[in-house]
Structure 1
Amino acid sequence: MKKADFGIGLFLIIAIIFLIVPMNSTLLDIFLALNISVAMVVLFNAMFSKEVLNMSAFPTILLFTTIFRISLNVSSTKLILTTGDPGNVVRTFGSFVAGNGNLVIGLIIFIILILVQFLVINKGSERVSEVTARFTLDAMPGKQMAIDADLNTGAINDVEAKRRREKIQEEAAFFGSMDGATKYVKGDAIAGLIITIINMAGGTIMGVMYLGQSAGEAFQHFAVLTIGDGLVSQIPSLMISLATGVLVTKVSKEADLGDLLVRQLFSIPKVLYMVGGSMIFLGVVTPLNVVLFSAYGIIFIISGRAIAAKLEVTEIENEVSLEEASANEIRKPENVVSLLQVDPIELEFGYGIIPLADANQGGDLLDRVVLIRRQIALELGCVVPMIRLRDNIQLNPNQYIIKIKGIQVSEGEILFDHYMAMNPGYVEEEITGIPTFEPSFHLPAIWITESQRERAESLGYTVVDPPSIIATHLTEVIRSHIHELLTRQDVQNLVNNIQEANQTLISELVPKLLNIGEIQKVLQNLLSEGISIRDLVSIFETLADYAPTTRDTDVLTEYARQSLKRAISGKYFPSGEMTSVVTLDPKVEQEIMNSVKQTEQGAYLSLDPGVTKEIIESVQAEVQKLEELGKNPIIITSPIVRMYFKRLTQDYFKDLIVVSYNEIDNNVELQSVGMVTV
C-alpha cells in the first residue's frame, strides 16, 4: 500500500473512531492543531493554484475535512460536559475572547463569526458553484465543436485534441461536484451553531448538578469553554469556506491570486493619484483625522509615482528589446534564405492599374484571379499555385508584367477607362481609336472610349474591358507554363486525392512501379501539349499497365495519350464536322525513326541539319495552307513517330498540334489537305 493511501485511510478512521471513543485533552489538542494546519494548507493552495483543475480533488478534501472537524467537535463536547477540561487549545481560544469576564462580547463575536461564514462566504460560494456548474455544462458542446474545428483545420493534432477534451470533462465533473460539496460547508456551520448552544446549556446544567457550582459560576465557566470550542472548530471551517470561495471564483489561468490582485489593483498610476488626492481632500476639508488621511494620501501618491517610473523603465526596456530583436532578426542568416524564395506566378503592375486590383475602388481583378485558378483546374485538372499580385512603381503607370518563377515571361499595357475592340475578321467598317495589339494572341486591336463601345459592338467588334484583357492574358500564360509549375508535391497531393477511392491502383503503382518524380514527368509532358490530366485514374491505370515493360517517361506519355484519345478527339476534332489536317510522309517518318538514338538517359533525335531544314520548310508551307482555310494547324503521324516529330517542330511552331492515329476516336471524320514531305 502506498504511504499516501495509508495516511488518508488513517485520517478517516481516526475521524470515525473519535465520534464514538472518548479521547483525553492532550490528544484533542494535537488533533485540533492538526485540523487548523490542514485548513491553512487548503486555503493557501486554493489561493495560489493557477487554475481550478490544479485542485480537482477539492470536493473530496472538503468532505474529509468536514468529517474530521465534526469528530473533533464531538470529542471536545464530551470533554466539556464530562470533565469541564477540554484541553489547552480550547481554553486558550475561549480566554482570548472572554478572558476579561465579559461573556456578552465573547458570545456576540462568536455569533458574528458564525453569521459571516454562513450568510456571506458559504452562501456566495454555493451560488457561484451552482452557476458555474450550469454554465460549464452548457458550454461543453461549443467547446467540443471548437476542438473538432481546430483538429480538422490542422491547428492541433490528435494528442492535443484528446487532452483538451479530457480537460473539458474534468472541468464539468469538478464544478458539478463543487455544486454539491458546498452543501457540506453550509451544514457544518449550522451544526457548529447547534453544538455551541447544546454545550452552553448542557455545561451549565452539568456544573450545577454534578460539580456543585452555582448557576452563575457554571454559566461563566462553561460559556468560556463553549466559545473556545466553537472558535477552534469554526475558524478552520471559515478557512475551508474561504478556500471554497477562492477556488470557485478563480478565473485567471496566467498567474496565482497574489500576482493577479496586485497587478490588477496597483498597476495604473492615475488611479493611485486620484485615490491619494481624495484621501488628502477628506482629511483637510472634513473633520476626519487630517494626519491619518493625509498620510494615506501621500502613500498612495508616492506609490503611484513609483509605479509610473517602473512602467516607463519597462516601456524603454521593451523598446530596446524590440530593437535588439529586430536587429538580431536582420542578422540571422535565415533571413537571407527567405529572400531566395520565388513566387511561382507573379502579376506586377504600375500604379495606374491599382484601382483594378483594389476592391475598395470597385476593382475585381482579385476575383478574376480566383476564377482563373478554378477555370484551369476544371480545364486541365491541375491546381494552379497562388498568384501573387503586387504593384511596381518602376513600371509605367498602365504597364503590367507576368513572371513565372521570378522571371518575366510576358507583358502588356492597357489604357484605363478605355476598351479594346478587335475585328473578328468579317467587320468591314472601321472605327477610330488608338491602334494596339491584343497581348494574349498578338492580334491587331483598337483602344476605344466608353462612348464608342455600343457602336463598336453593334458593328460586330469584340469589345473587352481592361480587367478582362489582363485576366485573359494571365490565363494564357498559365496554360502555356502550367507544366513548369507542377511540382512533386503537387503530384503527391493529386495522388492522395484519389487514393482513398483507388487504393489498389495506387498501392500497385506508387512506388513499386514508378516513383513520384517519374509520374511528374509524364503529367508534365501531357500538360505541356495542353492535354488535361483530370482523368488521373485512366492515366494511372495505363502507367500501371506499361510501367513493368518500360520506365521511359516519354514512351509512357504516349501510352497515356492513347488512353485519353476520347478527350483528345473532343478537344481538337469537333463532333459531326469534317476536320482538315496534314499528314506526314511515310518516308519522313522512316527518316526520323532511323535518326533516333537510345541512351541511358532516354532517346533523342539526331537528324541531319539539311533534312531538318527541309522538314521545317514543308511544315511551314502546310501549316500556312490550314491557316488560310481558318483551321487549326494539326498534323497526323504514326504513334511511334509522334513524340519525336513534336520535339523536332516545337521550337519553330508554338501552336502546332501533333496527334497520332491511335489518339483519334473512331467516329472522327478527317480530311487531309496536304502532306509534310522532303
Structure 2
Amino acid sequence: MNARVNDWLRRPGNLLGGNLRALAPPILIMMILGMMILPLPPFLLDLLFTFNIALSVMVLLVSMYTQKPLDFAAFPSVLLFSTLLRLSLNVASTRVVLLKGHTGADAAGRVIEAFGHFLVGGNYAVGIVVFVILVVINFMVITKGAGRIAEVGARFTLDAMPGKQMAIDADLNAGLIGEDEARRRRAVIAQEADFYGSMDGASKFVRGDAVAGLLIMVINIVGGLIVGVVQHNMDLADAAKTYTLLTIGDGLVAQIPALVISTAAGVVVSRVATDEDIGQQVMGQLFSNPRVLVLTAGILGMMGLIPGMPNLAFLLLAAALGALARWQLKRDALAKSGAATPAPAPGPAVDVAEASWDDVTLVDPLGLEVGYRLIPLVDRARDGELLKRIKGIRKKFAQEIGFLAPVVHIRDNLELKPTAYRITLNGVEIGHGEAHPGQLLAIDPGQVSGPLPGTQTRDPAFGLPAVWVDPSLREQANMQGYTVVDAGTVVATHLNHLVYGHASELLGRQEVQQLLDRIGKDSPKLTEDLVPKALPLTTVQKVLQNLLDEGVPIRDMRTILDALAEHAPRVTDPHELTALVRLALGRAITQALFPGQGELQVMGLDANLERILSQALAASGNGAGAGLEPGLAETLLRETQDAMRRQERAGLPPVLLVQHPLRVLLARFLRRSLPQLKVLSSAEVPDTRSIKVTALIGGQA
C-alpha cells in the first residue's frame, strides 16, 4: 500500500511530482497571511527582509536582460506579490518594534538595526529626511512615469491591433507564413495588449505602497512614543530616539526594495523591443559614436581647467572618454579596411571558344530579376529571406490551385536600378517595382489617421497608396492604421499576386502530363481511357487553362477527368467541355464563392436584357462567336460596374448569376474590363442552396 502511494506521489502532474512550482503561489500567500497574523522572531524577520531585498534585485536584473516586454510577462503578478510581501513585513516588524522596542536597538532584528543606525549614522532626523526623499522619488518620479508609459503603451497597442492583424493576414494570404504561425502572432498581439493593461493597473499598487509606507512611519513613531512613555515609563527623548530609529530602519529596509522594483517596472515598459537587452542597447547606442565622446571629453577638459573647479575629477574623466573615443576610431578604421577587398588582378588572355549549343540560353518560364541592392535578399550564402518566401509561395500555390508552378529563376540585372526588380513570364515582363532593404513599406488600406514622413509610392501588387519609412516608425505606422511590411515581403507579395493571376499560362503540357501521371498511379484506367484515346493532351490542357482563367482551381482532377471522359465521345470543343466540367464542379465553385450553407446573395440580369442576349447568342449559332452590339455592350458594362459597387459596399462578393447558355458569353465579355467579377451559371448552383438577387442589371438594346 505504501509503495503504491509513493508511486502515485512521484508521478508527473501530482503535487510532489512535476508540479512543485504550482505550490509556490499558495505557499507565498500563506506566508504573507502568517506574517500579518502571527508574531515572528527577530531572526526570521532578518531572513524575510533579506529575501525581500534579494527578490527586488533579481526582478531588476531580469527586467534588464529581457529583450521584449513579453519575455517577462509575469511582471505584473510579481509586482503585486512583492508589494503584498513588503506590506506584510511592515505589519510583522511593527508588531515586534512596539512589543520589544524598549529592550534595545536590535529588538526587531539586525537588518532593521543596520538600516536604522549604520545607513543614517544613528541620527533619526537624517533618517526621516532620507526616508521621505526615497518615498518622493519612488512615488513622484519612477512609479508615476512608469504608470504613464504603461497607460500610453496600452492605448497605443490597442490602436495598433487592427494594422498588425492586417499585416498578419497579408502574410498568410501571400503564403509567407502558415496558419499556426499566424495564430501564434495573433496571440502575441493580444498578450501585448493584456500586458500593458496589467502594467497600468499594477503600477497603482506601487504608488499605494509608497503612500502606505509614509503613513506607516508616522503611525509607528506616534505609537512608539505612546508605548514607550506610557507603558514602559521611558523618557520622552529616549523613547523618541529608540522608536524613531527602529521605525526609520523598518521603513528604509522596505522602501529601498520598493524603489528597485519600481525601477524594474520603468525599465520593462520604457524599453523598445529589439534583439538586444537594455545593457547592449545602452552601450551600443550611447558609447558607440566617437564624435560624441570626443566632444564630451573636450567640454569636460575645458571645465577642468577653470580655477576653483575639481580639476582632477574633470580632467581624469575627460582623459578616459578621449581614450575610449580613440579606441572606437581605431576599431572603425580596422573594420572598414577589413571590409574592403582588393580588385582581382587581370588574368592572362583566354582564347575564345567556338560557339556551341551550350551557348543557347532558354527562356525561363518564371523569372525574377533584381538590382544589386536586392541581392542580399536572394543570396543563398546569406540565407536570403526572399528565397524561403518564394518556396512558401510555390507550396501554397500547389495546395490551393492544384499544380506545381515552375521554379522561379532568380538573377541579378545591372541594367535595373539598384532597388528595382522585375518579374518575367516566358521572358516577357509581367510586373515590376522597387523595394528598399533596410526600410519598411507602410501601405494605406484606406483608413489611416495621418501621414508619415518618407518616400511616397504605391504598393506594386495592388496599387494602394504607400510610403517607404524608417524602421523606427514601425510602431507609429501601426498605430495610425498602416499595414507595415518589409522589402522582402513586398517582392514576395507582388510575385504571389502575379503567379495566381497568370496561373493558366504557367500550366504547360509538361505540368498537365505530370498531373495525369499522378492521377494514373491511383486510377490508371481513368487516364488510359481518356488520353490519348478519347481526347488529345492539348485539349485537356486547354480545358484546364480555361478553368484557371475563370479562377477555378484544378485540385479536383478526378472529377474533372470523369466529366471529360463522360462527354468526350460527343463533344470535342474545349470551351464546351469547360462548361460541362464547370457543371460537375458546381458545388465546389459555389462553395468557394459563398462559404458555408447560407443564402447566395448575387447580382442578376433584367428579363428584357436576358432575352436580348439570348437572341444575340442564338443568332451567332454558338457561344464562341457571339458578339454584342456596341451600344448594348457599353450599357451592359456600365450597369454591371454600378451593380458591383453596390454589391461591394454591402460587403458581398461580386458574383453575377445568369442562365447557363449565357454564362460563357458574359464571362468572356466582362473578364477583360472587370477581372474581379465572377459569372456563375444557375445550373452550377446546388439545389440545396437558396438564392437572393440583391442587384438587378438592366439594359436597353
- 1:36 paired to 2:53: yes
**Is the alpha carbon distance of 1:491 and 1:168 closer, same or farther for their aligned partners in structure 2, counting shifts above 3 Å?**
farther
Match of 2:112 among 84, 90, 104: 90
Counterpart in the other structure of 2:225? 204
What CA deviation, in whole Å up to 9, does each residue of 1:125-167 have, x standing for no partner? 1111111111111111111111111111112111110110010
Distance in 1 between the 2:57 and 2:162 partners?
37
CA contact (8 A) 1:200 1:219 kept: yes
C-alpha displacement of 1:259: 0.8
Unaligned runs of 5+ in 2: 1-14, 102-106, 345-357, 368-404, 416-423, 428-503, 580-616, 628-701
What CA deviation, in whole Å up to 9, does each residue of 1:243-266 have, x standing for no partner? 111111121231111111100100
Match of 2:28 among 8, 11, 16: 11
C-alpha displacement of 1:96: 1.7
Match of 1:257 among 246, 264, 278: 278
**Is the alpha carbon distance of 1:251 and 1:216 closer, same or farther for their aligned partners in structure 2, counting shifts above 3 Å?**
same
Q: Percent identity?
A: 35
Match of 1:45 among 40, 62, 65: 62
Distance in 1 between the 2:161 and 2:426 partners?
48
- TM-score, normalised on structure 2? 0.53
Match of 2:146 among 94, 115, 125: 125
Distance in 2 between the 1:141 and 1:270 partners?
42
1:255 counterpart letter in structure 2: E
C-alpha displacement of 1:182: 0.6
Distance in 2 between the 1:200 and 1:31 partners?
23
1:17 counterpart letter in structure 2: G
**Is the alpha carbon distance of 1:391 and 1:526 closer, same or farther for their aligned partners in structure 2, counting shifts above 3 Å?**
farther
Distance in 2 between the 1:558 and 1:489 partners?
21
**Is the alpha carbon distance of 1:571 and 1:189 closer, same or farther for their aligned partners in structure 2, counting shifts above 3 Å?**
closer
CA contact (8 A) 1:79 1:86 kept: yes
CA contact (8 A) 1:492 1:516 kept: no
CA contact (8 A) 2:143 2:262 kept: yes
User: What are the equivalent positions in structure 2 for 1:340-351 lying under 5 Å apart?
Assistant: 342-344=363-365
Distance in 2 between the 1:388 and 1:8 partners?
57
**Is the alpha carbon distance of 1:241 and 1:405 closer, same or farther for their aligned partners in structure 2, counting shifts above 3 Å?**
closer
SS at match of 2:40: coil
Distance in 2 between the 1:520 and 1:221 partners?
110
- 1:67 paired to 2:80: no
- 1:296 paired to 2:308: no
- 1:107 paired to 2:128: yes
Counterpart in the other structure of 1:443? none
SS at match of 2:527: coil
Match of 1:525 among 538, 553, 574: 538
CA contact (8 A) 2:543 2:574 kept: no
CA contact (8 A) 1:266 1:272 kept: yes
What CA deviation, in whole Å up to 9, does each residue of 1:552-599 have, x standing for no partner? xxx999675996999998799999xxxxxxxxxxxxxxxxxxxxxxxx
Distance in 2 between the 1:223 and 1:322 partners?
79
1:18 counterpart letter in structure 2: M
Residue-pair matches, total: 426
**Is the alpha carbon distance of 1:298 and 1:487 closer, same or farther for their aligned partners in structure 2, counting shifts above 3 Å?**
farther
Distance in 2 between the 1:484 and 1:111 partners?
77
C-alpha displacement of 1:181: 0.6
Counterpart in the other structure of 1:456? none
Distance in 2 between the 1:307 and 1:140 partners?
41
- TM-score, normalised on structure 1? 0.54
Match of 1:182 among 172, 188, 203: 203
**Is the alpha carbon distance of 1:47 and 1:574 closer, same or farther for their aligned partners in structure 2, counting shifts above 3 Å?**
closer
Counterpart in the other structure of 1:148? 169
**Is the alpha carbon distance of 1:569 and 1:189 closer, same or farther for their aligned partners in structure 2, counting shifts above 3 Å?**
same
Counterpart in the other structure of 1:514? 527
Unaligned runs of 5+ in 1: 324-336, 347-382, 394-402, 407-481, 495-505, 576-678
- 1:137 paired to 2:137: no
Distance in 2 between the 1:244 and 1:44 partners?
11
1:97 counterpart letter in structure 2: L
What CA deviation, in whole Å up to 9, does each residue of 1:43-65 have, x standing for no partner? 11111111111111111111111
- 1:25 paired to 2:42: yes
Distance in 2 between the 1:31 and 1:90 partners?
11
Counterpart in the other structure of 1:534? 546
CA contact (8 A) 1:345 1:385 kept: yes
C-alpha displacement of 1:78: 0.7
CA contact (8 A) 1:18 1:71 kept: yes
2:86 counterpart letter in structure 1: R
**Is the alpha carbon distance of 1:177 and 1:564 closer, same or farther for their aligned partners in structure 2, counting shifts above 3 Å?**
closer
C-alpha displacement of 1:191: 0.5
CA contact (8 A) 1:43 1:240 kept: yes
Structure number with the bigger relative contact order (C-alpha 8 A, sep ≥ 6) is 2
CA contact (8 A) 2:158 2:193 kept: yes
C-alpha displacement of 1:11: 1.4
CA contact (8 A) 1:103 1:224 kept: yes
